[in-house]
Each structure stands twice: as structure tokens, then as C-alpha cells.
Structure 1
Amino acid sequence: MSTASEASDLVLHERHGGVLTITLNRPAQKNAMDHAAAVQLAAALDLLDVDRELSVAVLTGAGGVFSADMDLKACAKDEMPVIPGRGFGGLTGTTVRKPLIAAVEGWALGGGFEMVLACDLIVAAEDARFGLPEVTRGLVAAGGGLVRLPRRLPYHVAARVLLTGEPLTAAEGKEYGLVNELTPPGAALDVARELAGRLARNAPLALAAVKEVLRETQGPNERDAFTRQDALTSGLFSGEDAREGARAFAERRAPV
């Protein structure tokens, strides 16, 4: 049976069997995240982990876009889409025990791409684009981009994305192993749900154990990596380059 959530309008969730579909639902803002959306996404992830009938979740965005980073208007009011201890969107710093599949249409930018990287499998439409433009604004991708992207891509490919701020196409993502399944435009969610159904046929405890072992044995522990990253980059976020990057972005000009 499929049931839809009535608990929120910024993040929707719908279950079908053992699969939970979570939809970022701010299409007018290209699913840019604000604090309220982060809180609701965190609640949906908590539901996934505590509900014994759920084995896997698909994360997607409404309106043909996954997520265009953070909501700058909300940020101007100091309403950041970050939850202490849980990271951007309530996801990037969270340990989610059960598998997550990203279904990506359109753009996944900045924190949006970092939420994709926090997922275990990625299904993307052929016209999807992934980008971490933080360096163009005097910042770094500290929500998981710096830590996770070199674990998902060859070093020199990850370095190009992180150092230029230029986007990666879905076809490139498939070529380098970042994207599991490439679909025609508009089909990412259907294919991701089919893949989720295949996972959900397996034993839930085994799925969680596989994910935990993968997370803990692929190079340095992620939590330790984030701690080291923060020590090296924290000063950037309060520096003049970051302020000029934000002003230039808001004024639609090249930064000085």
C-alpha cells in the first residue's frame, strides 16, 4: 500500500512497501534549502531509520530540479539550512543506517550536490548536472564535497570539479562511476524506485550492516575527516573573500 505524508509541505514523504520516497518540495526556489526544510528532511530520515517496515529511501526534488544549494534569501536572515550535528539539509553530517538512493533531475548544486554525495546510490537523468561552485565565492565545499567527492571519483576528476567550480555532467558521472544508472529526462525517480524495490527485497539488517562496513572501512573515518577539514578551512567562511563572493553572486557580477 502507498500512503502520502501530510506532515509537511517543504519535504514530502510517501511509502510504498519497504521504500520511502522523500521529495524536496520547494520547486519555485529550485528546491534550495532553508532551515525549515532541513528540519523536515531530518525528520523524514529519522522516520526511515526507526520504522521497521522501511528498508530504503529515495531522495528526489520536485519540479525537475534536485536542489540548487541553499536559499540565499533565508541565509540573509541568518536562517542557515544546517542542523548542528546533522549538517547541510539535516543530511550531510548524519549517519543514516539504511540505504539512500538519490534520484537527480536537473541541477544538484553546492549543498544540493553534497546531499547527493551523502546517498549510497545515484540515479540521474541524462541532462542532470552536478556542481560545487563554492571556490568561485571564496568558500569551500565543507558539507561533504571535499571529503566525499574524492572517494567517489578519481582524484584528478574530483580536483577539477572542486578547484574550478565547474559542473560535472551526468554522462561524466556515469563514466567515472559516480552515477549508478543514467535515464532519459524525467525518468530518474521511476528508475530509482525500481532500484529501491530490488534493495528492499533483501534483509534489512544485512543492508544496514553492509552500509556501516562500507562507511567505516573506505579510508579514514568520515567523522574524523570532517573534523580535520573543519580545522583547516574554518577561517575561510568569515574572511573577506567569502564576503566578496557572496556580494558578487547577489549582484550577478564577477568577484574581485
Structure 2
Amino acid sequence: MRSDDTFLEWLDTLAVYGIAMLKNSPLDIGVVKSLANRIGFIRRTTYGEEFSVRSRPGAKNYSYLSKPLPLHTDLPYYEYKPSVTLLHTLEQSRSKGGWNTLVDAFNIADQLRAQHPEHFKNLSQTLVNWCDIGADADKFFHNMWRAPVINLDATGKYVRINHSVPQRDSHFSIDVDKVVPWYEANATFVRMAHEQSVSFKTVPGDVLSFNNLRMLHGRTGYDDSERNVRHIVGGFVDWDIVYSRMRVLKRATVSIEETESAGQHMAVQA
């Protein structure tokens, strides 16, 4: 992607729709970091700057298993969680599985607000403990954050969605009489998300990018062997950095147009 116009179109699409796909990128392990650096810089997390998603026998993280990966948002246990997820397909499983699943959780929340207002209230007001305890390589971590599934700002607009069953803590610090209503609300939210999710299978060279504050994503299970490997390289970028880059590119475009217009005006006067 050498053109700034194409680069800006990608970022614009991502900002508006919450998802965008780049095709035919190099089969190079450094593509994600290169894209992130062109935007600004990559967001480092507990799992480093980039992460490789491939089947690992005995892995404790769901992402590193070949079993189905339920719909979720990444890193809900971060107070300031990464905003944009980049997933570059280096190798794709030739088995029937390995399909990506995605759904716009803001849209699901809109429907929940209209059709099940009490469920919406429970999911937007009840604090949930999100956590990730473990180790990656030689680094140990204990991440935790308390926030509702549906996060709103002071005006009622969506800020972020938190949803990940493996990262929802077993401790639920709410009044007993609120537990069942919350689970009923969450079950409705998850059911609606699954019913309206879309599925597709990426091919080597695809870079899937999506809004991690808005979209739920998952993956169907797949068969993995030495001759049938699925390898995805991922990374994160923050919206602050994306929006900054978009403004710079748009300002540069306006400056070029103004310069060309001024040149044409001078030519006419001459």
C-alpha cells in the first residue's frame, strides 16, 4: 500500500464501519508492525508488540488452541484496552474450520436497548470483574479491571463493549438478587450476537482490521497438523494514533489541492 490516498481510505473505512480488510499483503511476519508504524506506533500489551496465533498443545490461552474460539473482545481486563486489532494471515488451515466470525456489538446493544430495556440496563450498569492471570514467556502478569459489558459515556453513547467468557472472573461482586437477571441479560446479548454474526475465511496475505471497542470476533475450530498449519500474526493500535494519522493525511491532501488551485489561478492570470 504505497499510496497515501489508499492508506487513508483503509483507515476511513475502519473508522466508519468498524472493520476493513487489506488483500494481497506480503507473506512477511513483519507486516503488522510495518502497518502499525506507518500509522504511528504499535500498542504493546502483556503479550508483547506482536503475537502469533497458532495452535499450541497444552496452551492455557483460548487463542492458541485449535478449538472453537467464542465471540469476544480482546483484553477486556485493561482499563485502557487496545482499540484496533490487526490480524495478518500468514498460513491458513486447509481443513473445513478456521473461519472468522464477527458481529457489530454496538448494533446488538442498540437492539437490546430497544427490545429488552431491562437487559440493557443490567449490562450497562452492572460492574463485572475481568481478569487475566498467567505468564507469557518469562513474564508473569495479573491484569484486572471492573467495568460493565456495555460501557456508556455521560450522554449515553457507546464507549466500548467488554465480553470474553474466559476473561470474566469467577468472582461476581454484586448483590445476590441481581445475579440471575444479569445472566439472563448476558445470555440474550450473546444469543443475538451469534444469530447476527457473519463468517468468512481469510487467505494468506489478508490483513483483517477491526474496532476492538465495538466488534466481537471469534473463530471456528480447525484441524491442525505439521502439514496443515494456521498461522496468524496480530497486533494492536490505538484510535488516538489512528485518528492523528488520518488528520495529518487529510490536511496534506487539502494542502496539495490548495497548492494546485493556486497554481491554476496564477496560470490563468498570466
For the criterion TM > 0.5, the same-fold answer is: no
Task: Provide TM-score, normalisation by structure 2.
Answer: 0.26
Higher helix share: 1
Q: Which protein is bigger by CA-based radius of gyration? A: 2
Higher strand share: 2
Task: Provide TM-score, normalisation by structure 1.
Answer: 0.27
